[in-house]
Structure 1
Amino acid sequence: MTASDRPVRPRHAASLVLVRRSARRLEVLMGRRPVKSRFAPDVYVFPGGRLDRADWATAAARPLDPASVRRSAAPPAMAEALAAAALRETAEETGLILPADHAALTLMARAITPTNSPIRFHARFFLADWDEAHGRHADSHELTDLAFRPLDEVAQLPLMDVTEAVLAGLAKLEQGRLEPFLFTYRRGRAHIRALD
Protein backbone atom coordinates (compact mmCIF):
# COMPACT_ATOMS: atom_id res chain seq x y z
CA MET A 1 0.00 0.00 0.00
CA THR A 2 1.45 3.35 -1.02
CA ALA A 3 0.99 6.58 0.92
CA SER A 4 -1.57 7.74 -1.66
CA ASP A 5 -3.59 4.53 -1.09
CA ARG A 6 -3.87 5.07 2.65
CA PRO A 7 -7.09 6.61 3.95
CA VAL A 8 -6.97 10.29 4.83
CA ARG A 9 -6.82 10.82 8.59
CA PRO A 10 -10.18 12.17 9.85
CA ARG A 11 -10.18 15.70 11.27
CA HIS A 12 -12.02 16.32 14.51
CA ALA A 13 -15.27 18.25 14.06
CA ALA A 14 -18.45 19.06 15.95
CA SER A 15 -22.04 19.94 15.12
CA LEU A 16 -24.83 21.38 17.21
CA VAL A 17 -28.26 19.78 16.92
CA LEU A 18 -30.39 22.65 18.17
CA VAL A 19 -33.99 21.67 18.91
CA ARG A 20 -37.14 23.42 20.06
CA ARG A 21 -40.64 22.24 20.86
CA SER A 22 -43.41 23.85 18.86
CA ALA A 23 -47.08 22.86 19.02
CA ARG A 24 -46.17 19.61 20.80
CA ARG A 25 -43.64 18.55 18.18
CA LEU A 26 -39.89 18.76 17.90
CA GLU A 27 -38.21 21.09 15.40
CA VAL A 28 -34.52 21.18 14.50
CA LEU A 29 -32.36 23.97 13.10
CA MET A 30 -30.87 23.08 9.71
CA GLY A 31 -29.45 24.93 6.73
CA ARG A 32 -28.29 24.12 3.23
CA ARG A 33 -24.59 23.96 2.36
CA PRO A 34 -23.47 25.88 -0.74
CA VAL A 35 -23.44 24.07 -4.07
CA LYS A 36 -19.70 24.75 -4.42
CA SER A 37 -18.71 23.29 -1.02
CA ARG A 38 -15.79 20.84 -1.21
CA PHE A 39 -17.44 18.58 1.36
CA ALA A 40 -21.15 17.70 1.29
CA PRO A 41 -22.34 20.28 -1.25
CA ASP A 42 -26.01 21.24 -1.60
CA VAL A 43 -27.35 19.19 1.32
CA TYR A 44 -29.06 20.21 4.55
CA VAL A 45 -26.98 19.92 7.69
CA PHE A 46 -26.76 21.04 11.30
CA PRO A 47 -24.42 23.95 12.08
CA GLY A 48 -20.90 22.72 12.70
CA GLY A 49 -17.33 22.42 11.54
CA ARG A 50 -13.73 21.59 12.32
CA LEU A 51 -12.09 21.83 15.70
CA ASP A 52 -9.88 24.96 15.82
CA ARG A 53 -6.90 25.68 18.02
CA ALA A 54 -8.84 28.48 19.79
CA ASP A 55 -11.52 25.98 20.89
CA TRP A 56 -9.01 24.43 23.29
CA ALA A 57 -8.73 27.72 25.19
CA THR A 58 -12.47 28.39 25.54
CA ALA A 59 -13.54 28.28 29.18
CA ALA A 60 -16.88 26.67 29.98
CA ALA A 61 -19.13 27.75 32.85
CA ARG A 62 -19.72 24.04 33.56
CA PRO A 63 -18.07 21.03 31.91
CA LEU A 64 -19.73 18.32 29.86
CA ASP A 65 -21.40 15.56 31.80
CA PRO A 66 -19.21 12.43 32.21
CA ALA A 67 -21.42 10.37 29.86
CA SER A 68 -20.93 12.87 27.02
CA VAL A 69 -17.17 12.90 27.60
CA ARG A 70 -17.10 9.09 27.50
CA ARG A 71 -19.24 8.95 24.34
CA SER A 72 -16.96 11.45 22.59
CA ALA A 73 -14.09 8.90 22.54
CA ALA A 74 -11.75 11.79 23.30
CA PRO A 75 -9.75 12.86 26.33
CA PRO A 76 -11.74 15.24 28.58
CA ALA A 77 -9.90 18.37 27.37
CA MET A 78 -10.60 17.48 23.74
CA ALA A 79 -14.25 16.69 24.49
CA GLU A 80 -14.60 20.18 26.01
CA ALA A 81 -12.84 21.72 22.98
CA LEU A 82 -15.26 19.88 20.67
CA ALA A 83 -18.23 21.25 22.63
CA ALA A 84 -16.72 24.74 22.28
CA ALA A 85 -16.29 24.15 18.53
CA ALA A 86 -19.98 23.22 18.16
CA LEU A 87 -21.02 26.44 19.92
CA ARG A 88 -18.54 28.60 17.98
CA GLU A 89 -19.52 27.16 14.60
CA THR A 90 -23.20 27.67 15.41
CA ALA A 91 -22.56 31.34 16.20
CA GLU A 92 -20.52 31.79 13.01
CA GLU A 93 -22.97 30.01 10.72
CA THR A 94 -26.31 31.07 12.21
CA GLY A 95 -25.81 34.17 14.36
CA LEU A 96 -27.19 32.32 17.39
CA ILE A 97 -25.14 32.56 20.57
CA LEU A 98 -25.38 29.86 23.21
CA PRO A 99 -23.70 30.22 26.58
CA ALA A 100 -20.43 28.35 27.10
CA ASP A 101 -22.20 25.99 29.49
CA HIS A 102 -21.15 22.58 28.26
CA ALA A 103 -23.30 20.88 30.91
CA ALA A 104 -26.32 22.02 28.85
CA LEU A 105 -25.07 19.94 25.89
CA THR A 106 -25.50 16.19 25.42
CA LEU A 107 -23.39 14.19 23.00
CA MET A 108 -25.93 12.20 21.01
CA ALA A 109 -23.80 10.81 18.18
CA ARG A 110 -20.37 10.37 16.66
CA ALA A 111 -19.73 9.82 12.98
CA ILE A 112 -16.63 8.97 10.98
CA THR A 113 -16.50 9.64 7.24
CA PRO A 114 -15.78 6.59 5.02
CA THR A 115 -12.13 5.66 4.46
CA ASN A 116 -12.41 6.18 0.68
CA SER A 117 -13.43 9.84 1.06
CA PRO A 118 -10.73 12.42 0.19
CA ILE A 119 -12.04 14.66 3.01
CA ARG A 120 -12.74 12.91 6.30
CA PHE A 121 -14.12 13.94 9.67
CA HIS A 122 -14.63 12.38 13.07
CA ALA A 123 -17.67 14.45 14.01
CA ARG A 124 -19.42 14.72 17.34
CA PHE A 125 -23.07 15.80 17.41
CA PHE A 126 -24.11 17.72 20.51
CA LEU A 127 -27.78 18.17 21.37
CA ALA A 128 -28.86 21.57 22.74
CA ASP A 129 -32.14 23.27 23.56
CA TRP A 130 -33.22 26.39 21.69
CA ASP A 131 -34.22 28.03 24.99
CA GLU A 132 -30.50 28.53 25.70
CA ALA A 133 -29.88 30.53 22.48
CA HIS A 134 -29.67 34.30 22.13
CA GLY A 135 -30.07 36.33 18.95
CA ARG A 136 -31.85 35.66 15.66
CA HIS A 137 -30.81 32.99 13.25
CA ALA A 138 -29.90 34.19 9.78
CA ASP A 139 -28.37 32.75 6.62
CA SER A 140 -24.61 32.96 6.20
CA HIS A 141 -22.11 32.15 3.45
CA GLU A 142 -21.85 28.64 4.98
CA LEU A 143 -25.57 27.87 5.48
CA THR A 144 -28.57 29.16 3.54
CA ASP A 145 -32.30 28.46 3.89
CA LEU A 146 -31.65 28.28 7.63
CA ALA A 147 -34.79 27.45 9.61
CA PHE A 148 -36.26 25.36 12.39
CA ARG A 149 -38.05 22.50 10.69
CA PRO A 150 -40.41 19.82 12.04
CA LEU A 151 -38.84 16.37 11.97
CA ASP A 152 -41.56 14.97 9.71
CA GLU A 153 -40.78 17.61 7.04
CA VAL A 154 -36.98 17.31 7.09
CA ALA A 155 -37.02 13.89 5.40
CA GLN A 156 -38.08 15.58 2.15
CA LEU A 157 -34.83 17.59 1.98
CA PRO A 158 -31.55 16.46 0.40
CA LEU A 159 -29.64 14.90 3.31
CA MET A 160 -26.48 12.90 3.98
CA ASP A 161 -26.99 9.44 5.46
CA VAL A 162 -25.40 10.47 8.77
CA THR A 163 -27.84 13.39 9.01
CA GLU A 164 -30.71 10.96 8.46
CA ALA A 165 -29.36 8.82 11.31
CA VAL A 166 -29.18 11.83 13.67
CA LEU A 167 -32.74 12.80 12.70
CA ALA A 168 -33.89 9.23 13.46
CA GLY A 169 -32.24 9.67 16.86
CA LEU A 170 -34.23 12.88 17.35
CA ALA A 171 -37.44 11.03 16.50
CA LYS A 172 -36.65 8.63 19.36
CA LEU A 173 -35.93 11.60 21.61
CA GLU A 174 -39.34 13.00 20.73
CA GLN A 175 -40.73 9.75 22.20
CA GLY A 176 -38.66 10.26 25.34
CA ARG A 177 -35.64 8.05 24.51
CA LEU A 178 -32.10 9.29 23.88
CA GLU A 179 -30.05 6.51 22.29
CA PRO A 180 -26.52 7.81 21.54
CA PHE A 181 -24.79 6.06 18.64
CA LEU A 182 -21.66 5.78 16.51
CA PHE A 183 -22.13 6.05 12.74
CA THR A 184 -19.37 4.50 10.61
CA TYR A 185 -18.95 2.54 7.40
CA ARG A 186 -17.99 -1.10 6.93
CA ARG A 187 -17.25 -2.43 3.46
CA GLY A 188 -18.89 0.65 1.97
CA ARG A 189 -22.11 0.35 3.97
CA ALA A 190 -23.38 2.51 6.81
CA HIS A 191 -23.09 0.90 10.23
CA ILE A 192 -24.71 2.17 13.45
CA ARG A 193 -23.67 1.00 16.92
CA ALA A 194 -25.05 2.10 20.29
CA LEU A 195 -22.62 4.11 22.44
CA ASP A 196 -24.08 3.26 25.87
Structure 2
Amino acid sequence: MIDAATAPKEEKEADHHPYFRPKDAATLILIDRSGEKPKVLVGKRHDNVVFMPGKFVFPGGRVDKSDNRVPVAASITKELEANLLKGSPKIAASRARALAVAAIREACEETGLCLGRKVDQKVTLEGAWKPFSDAGLLPDPSSLFLIARAITPPGRVRRFDTRFFTADASAITHRVEGVIHPDAELVELVWVEIGSKPLADLHAMTKNVLNELDRRLATGPLHHDAPVPFFHFYGGKMQKDVLGA
Protein backbone atom coordinates (compact mmCIF):
# COMPACT_ATOMS: atom_id res chain seq x y z
CA MET A 1 0.00 0.00 0.00
CA ILE A 2 1.18 3.50 -0.77
CA ASP A 3 0.03 7.02 -0.08
CA ALA A 4 -0.18 7.68 -3.72
CA ALA A 5 1.62 10.94 -4.24
CA THR A 6 3.54 11.50 -1.06
CA ALA A 7 5.98 9.80 1.30
CA PRO A 8 6.45 9.06 5.00
CA LYS A 9 7.31 11.93 7.33
CA GLU A 10 10.94 10.94 7.57
CA GLU A 11 11.25 11.21 3.80
CA LYS A 12 9.70 14.66 3.49
CA GLU A 13 12.94 16.30 4.58
CA ALA A 14 14.97 14.23 2.14
CA ASP A 15 14.96 16.71 -0.72
CA HIS A 16 18.70 16.27 -1.26
CA HIS A 17 18.40 12.71 -2.56
CA PRO A 18 19.44 11.92 -6.13
CA TYR A 19 16.76 11.74 -8.78
CA PHE A 20 14.61 8.62 -8.55
CA ARG A 21 12.36 7.70 -11.43
CA PRO A 22 8.76 7.42 -10.20
CA LYS A 23 7.32 3.91 -10.16
CA ASP A 24 3.98 3.33 -11.86
CA ALA A 25 1.23 2.80 -9.30
CA ALA A 26 -2.55 2.69 -9.12
CA THR A 27 -5.14 3.53 -6.47
CA LEU A 28 -8.82 2.53 -6.47
CA ILE A 29 -11.53 4.64 -4.85
CA LEU A 30 -14.77 2.66 -4.60
CA ILE A 31 -18.00 4.67 -4.46
CA ASP A 32 -21.40 3.76 -3.03
CA ARG A 33 -24.08 5.95 -4.58
CA SER A 34 -27.09 4.05 -3.23
CA GLY A 35 -27.83 6.67 -0.56
CA GLU A 36 -28.56 10.38 -0.62
CA LYS A 37 -24.85 11.28 -0.56
CA PRO A 38 -22.02 9.32 -2.21
CA LYS A 39 -19.69 7.41 0.09
CA VAL A 40 -16.16 6.15 -0.55
CA LEU A 41 -14.48 3.09 0.91
CA VAL A 42 -11.44 3.59 3.14
CA GLY A 43 -9.43 1.14 5.20
CA LYS A 44 -7.95 1.83 8.62
CA ARG A 45 -4.30 0.85 8.95
CA HIS A 46 -3.03 -1.11 11.93
CA ASP A 47 -1.71 1.04 14.79
CA ASN A 48 1.59 -0.88 14.82
CA VAL A 49 2.63 -0.45 11.19
CA VAL A 50 5.54 1.92 10.52
CA PHE A 51 3.92 3.85 7.66
CA MET A 52 0.79 5.90 8.50
CA PRO A 53 -0.30 3.92 11.60
CA GLY A 54 -3.99 4.18 12.41
CA LYS A 55 -4.71 6.30 9.34
CA PHE A 56 -7.51 5.79 6.82
CA VAL A 57 -6.24 5.06 3.32
CA PHE A 58 -7.39 3.91 -0.10
CA PRO A 59 -6.11 0.61 -1.51
CA GLY A 60 -3.26 1.05 -3.95
CA GLY A 61 0.28 0.12 -4.86
CA ARG A 62 2.86 -0.45 -7.56
CA VAL A 63 2.12 -2.12 -10.86
CA ASP A 64 3.14 -5.79 -10.77
CA LYS A 65 4.45 -7.93 -13.62
CA SER A 66 1.34 -10.09 -13.40
CA ASP A 67 -0.83 -7.07 -14.23
CA ASN A 68 0.50 -7.16 -17.78
CA ARG A 69 -0.27 -10.84 -18.29
CA VAL A 70 -3.47 -11.71 -16.46
CA PRO A 71 -6.48 -12.34 -18.74
CA VAL A 72 -9.44 -10.01 -18.24
CA ALA A 73 -13.18 -10.38 -18.74
CA ALA A 74 -13.39 -7.16 -20.74
CA SER A 75 -10.97 -4.57 -22.06
CA ILE A 76 -10.70 -1.06 -20.71
CA THR A 77 -12.77 1.36 -22.75
CA LYS A 78 -11.12 3.15 -25.65
CA GLU A 79 -11.80 6.48 -23.93
CA LEU A 80 -10.10 5.35 -20.73
CA GLU A 81 -7.16 3.99 -22.69
CA ALA A 82 -6.84 7.31 -24.53
CA ASN A 83 -6.70 9.24 -21.24
CA LEU A 84 -4.13 6.85 -19.77
CA LEU A 85 -1.93 7.26 -22.85
CA LYS A 86 -1.85 11.04 -22.52
CA GLY A 87 1.05 12.84 -20.91
CA SER A 88 4.71 11.99 -20.48
CA PRO A 89 6.51 9.66 -20.50
CA LYS A 90 4.72 7.89 -23.32
CA ILE A 91 3.46 4.42 -22.48
CA ALA A 92 2.15 1.53 -24.55
CA ALA A 93 -1.49 0.46 -24.61
CA SER A 94 -0.48 -2.67 -22.70
CA ARG A 95 0.88 -0.47 -19.89
CA ALA A 96 -2.36 1.50 -19.77
CA ARG A 97 -4.25 -1.77 -19.31
CA ALA A 98 -1.80 -2.89 -16.61
CA LEU A 99 -2.39 0.31 -14.63
CA ALA A 100 -6.14 -0.29 -14.53
CA VAL A 101 -5.68 -3.97 -13.70
CA ALA A 102 -3.23 -3.10 -10.90
CA ALA A 103 -5.92 -1.02 -9.20
CA ILE A 104 -8.22 -4.05 -9.16
CA ARG A 105 -5.53 -6.38 -7.83
CA GLU A 106 -4.50 -4.01 -5.05
CA ALA A 107 -8.13 -3.57 -3.97
CA CYS A 108 -8.62 -7.33 -3.77
CA GLU A 109 -5.34 -7.91 -1.91
CA GLU A 110 -5.93 -5.19 0.67
CA THR A 111 -9.72 -5.21 1.14
CA GLY A 112 -10.83 -8.62 -0.12
CA LEU A 113 -13.21 -6.96 -2.59
CA CYS A 114 -12.94 -8.22 -6.16
CA LEU A 115 -14.10 -6.43 -9.29
CA GLY A 116 -14.63 -9.20 -11.83
CA ARG A 117 -17.03 -10.93 -14.13
CA LYS A 118 -18.19 -14.54 -14.35
CA VAL A 119 -16.76 -16.43 -17.31
CA ASP A 120 -18.09 -19.58 -18.99
CA GLN A 121 -14.77 -21.40 -19.11
CA LYS A 122 -12.75 -21.71 -15.92
CA VAL A 123 -9.35 -20.05 -16.06
CA THR A 124 -6.77 -20.96 -13.43
CA LEU A 125 -4.98 -17.92 -12.02
CA GLU A 126 -2.15 -17.93 -9.51
CA GLY A 127 -0.76 -15.63 -6.83
CA ALA A 128 -2.74 -12.48 -6.11
CA TRP A 129 -5.23 -13.42 -8.83
CA LYS A 130 -6.18 -16.81 -7.36
CA PRO A 131 -9.27 -15.46 -5.51
CA PHE A 132 -10.71 -14.47 -8.88
CA SER A 133 -10.39 -17.89 -10.49
CA ASP A 134 -11.56 -19.58 -7.27
CA ALA A 135 -14.78 -17.59 -7.63
CA GLY A 136 -15.07 -18.27 -11.37
CA LEU A 137 -14.18 -14.69 -12.23
CA LEU A 138 -11.79 -12.75 -14.38
CA PRO A 139 -10.84 -9.18 -13.42
CA ASP A 140 -13.00 -6.60 -15.19
CA PRO A 141 -11.36 -3.18 -15.66
CA SER A 142 -14.13 -1.93 -17.96
CA SER A 143 -15.96 -0.44 -14.95
CA LEU A 144 -13.06 1.83 -13.96
CA PHE A 145 -12.90 5.59 -14.47
CA LEU A 146 -9.71 7.66 -14.31
CA ILE A 147 -10.04 10.57 -11.87
CA ALA A 148 -6.50 11.97 -11.65
CA ARG A 149 -2.80 11.37 -12.03
CA ALA A 150 -0.22 12.50 -9.46
CA ILE A 151 3.56 12.22 -9.16
CA THR A 152 5.53 12.32 -5.91
CA PRO A 153 7.80 15.40 -5.75
CA PRO A 154 11.47 15.02 -6.79
CA GLY A 155 14.01 14.44 -4.04
CA ARG A 156 12.03 11.78 -2.21
CA VAL A 157 13.49 8.35 -1.47
CA ARG A 158 10.35 6.70 -2.83
CA ARG A 159 8.44 8.20 -5.74
CA PHE A 160 5.26 7.06 -7.45
CA ASP A 161 3.49 8.03 -10.65
CA THR A 162 -0.03 7.17 -9.54
CA ARG A 163 -3.23 6.92 -11.51
CA PHE A 164 -6.30 7.31 -9.33
CA PHE A 165 -9.22 5.22 -10.53
CA THR A 166 -12.77 4.99 -9.27
CA ALA A 167 -15.51 2.41 -9.68
CA ASP A 168 -19.04 2.01 -8.40
CA ALA A 169 -19.63 -0.43 -5.54
CA SER A 170 -21.99 -2.34 -7.83
CA ALA A 171 -18.88 -3.56 -9.69
CA ILE A 172 -17.86 -5.62 -6.63
CA THR A 173 -18.74 -9.23 -7.46
CA HIS A 174 -16.89 -11.22 -4.79
CA ARG A 175 -15.58 -10.80 -1.26
CA VAL A 176 -12.59 -12.75 0.05
CA GLU A 177 -13.20 -13.51 3.71
CA GLY A 178 -10.51 -13.05 6.33
CA VAL A 179 -8.57 -10.23 4.66
CA ILE A 180 -9.66 -7.63 7.21
CA HIS A 181 -8.95 -8.60 10.83
CA PRO A 182 -7.30 -7.14 13.98
CA ASP A 183 -3.81 -8.32 13.00
CA ALA A 184 -3.98 -7.40 9.31
CA GLU A 185 -2.45 -4.34 7.65
CA LEU A 186 -6.00 -2.98 7.34
CA VAL A 187 -8.06 -3.66 10.45
CA GLU A 188 -11.33 -2.07 9.35
CA LEU A 189 -13.21 -1.01 6.21
CA VAL A 190 -15.56 1.97 6.39
CA TRP A 191 -17.85 3.67 3.89
CA VAL A 192 -17.67 7.42 4.56
CA GLU A 193 -19.02 10.56 2.93
CA ILE A 194 -16.52 12.72 1.07
CA GLY A 195 -15.45 15.52 3.40
CA SER A 196 -16.29 13.59 6.58
CA LYS A 197 -14.04 13.34 9.65
CA PRO A 198 -12.31 10.00 8.83
CA LEU A 199 -10.91 11.65 5.68
CA ALA A 200 -9.54 14.71 7.50
CA ASP A 201 -6.09 13.15 7.93
CA LEU A 202 -5.64 12.24 4.28
CA HIS A 203 -2.65 13.77 2.54
CA ALA A 204 -3.35 17.03 0.73
CA MET A 205 -2.78 15.43 -2.67
CA THR A 206 -5.32 12.70 -1.97
CA LYS A 207 -7.77 15.37 -0.84
CA ASN A 208 -7.25 17.11 -4.17
CA VAL A 209 -8.20 13.90 -5.94
CA LEU A 210 -11.29 13.44 -3.76
CA ASN A 211 -12.34 17.02 -4.48
CA GLU A 212 -12.06 16.25 -8.18
CA LEU A 213 -14.15 13.10 -7.73
CA ASP A 214 -16.75 15.02 -5.73
CA ARG A 215 -16.92 17.68 -8.44
CA ARG A 216 -17.44 15.11 -11.17
CA LEU A 217 -20.09 13.23 -9.21
CA ALA A 218 -22.00 16.48 -8.71
CA THR A 219 -22.28 16.99 -12.47
CA GLY A 220 -23.98 13.64 -13.11
CA PRO A 221 -22.82 10.22 -14.34
CA LEU A 222 -19.08 9.69 -14.73
CA HIS A 223 -17.66 9.63 -18.25
CA HIS A 224 -14.55 7.80 -19.43
CA ASP A 225 -13.51 10.67 -21.69
CA ALA A 226 -13.74 13.46 -19.08
CA PRO A 227 -10.66 15.71 -18.72
CA VAL A 228 -8.21 14.32 -16.16
CA PRO A 229 -6.17 16.59 -13.85
CA PHE A 230 -2.45 15.90 -13.53
CA PHE A 231 -0.81 16.95 -10.25
CA HIS A 232 2.97 17.27 -10.29
CA PHE A 233 5.72 19.47 -8.90
CA TYR A 234 7.91 22.01 -10.68
CA GLY A 235 10.33 24.37 -8.97
CA GLY A 236 9.19 23.09 -5.60
CA LYS A 237 5.56 24.02 -6.22
CA MET A 238 2.60 21.85 -7.07
CA GLN A 239 1.25 22.27 -10.57
CA LYS A 240 -2.16 21.20 -11.83
CA ASP A 241 -2.46 20.53 -15.54
CA VAL A 242 -4.93 18.60 -17.65
CA LEU A 243 -3.63 15.44 -19.31
CA GLY A 244 -3.20 15.98 -23.01
CA ALA A 245 -3.80 19.74 -22.85
Q: Pick from 202, 212, 215: which aligns with 1:169?
A: 212
Q: Pick from 163, 169, 191: which aligns with 1:148?
A: 191
Q: Match of 1:176, as an amino acid?
A: T
Report how far residue 171 of structure 1 moved.
1.2
In the alignment, which residue of structure 2 is the partner of 1:104? Answer: 143
1:123-142 equivalence runs, <5 A: 123-136=162-175, 139=180, 141-142=184-185
Report how far residue 57 of structure 1 moved.
0.8
Q: SS at 2:38's partner residue?
A: strand
Residue 157 (structure 2) pairs with residue 118 (structure 1): yes
Q: Pick from 28, 46, 50: which aligns with 1:16?
A: 28
1:92-131 per-position Cα deviation (integer Å, ceiling 9, x unaligned): 1001011122221111111111111110011111111100
In the alignment, which residue of structure 2 is the partner of 1:94? Answer: 111
TM-score under structure 1 length normalisation: 0.86
Change (3 A) 1:34 1:179: farther
Q: Distance in 2 between matches of 1:14 and 1:106?
A: 12
Q: Distance in 2 between matches of 1:86 and 1:153?
A: 24
TM-score under structure 2 length normalisation: 0.70
Task: List runs of 5+ in structure 1 lacking aligned partners.
Answer: none
Answer whether contact 2:56 2:198 (CA < 8 A) is retained: no
In the alignment, which residue of structure 1 is the partner of 2:43? Answer: 31
Q: Distance in 2 between matches of 1:72 and 1:155?
A: 30
Report how far residue 59 of structure 1 moved.
1.5
Answer whether contact 1:72 1:110 (CA < 8 A) is retained: no
In the alignment, which residue of structure 2 is the partner of 1:185? Answer: 233
Q: Distance in 1 between matches of 2:58 and 2:172?
A: 15
Change (3 A) 1:145 1:189: farther
Q: Distance in 2 between matches of 1:118 and 1:5?
A: 7
Report how far residue 69 of structure 1 moved.
1.8
Report how far residue 174 of structure 1 moved.
2.3
Q: Distance in 1 between matches of 2:79 and 2:197?
A: 28
Count of aligned pairs: 192
Answer whether contact 1:64 1:106 (CA < 8 A) is retained: no
Q: Distance in 2 between matches of 1:7 and 1:34?
A: 31
Q: Match of 1:190, as an amino acid?
A: M
Q: Distance in 2 between matches of 1:97 and 1:5?
A: 38
Larger radius of gyration: 2
Q: CA RMSD in A?
A: 2.3
Q: Distance in 2 between matches of 1:151 and 1:14?
A: 20
Report how far residue 179 of structure 1 moved.
4.6
Percent of paired sites with the same residue: 33
Answer whether contact 1:44 1:157 (CA < 8 A) is retained: no
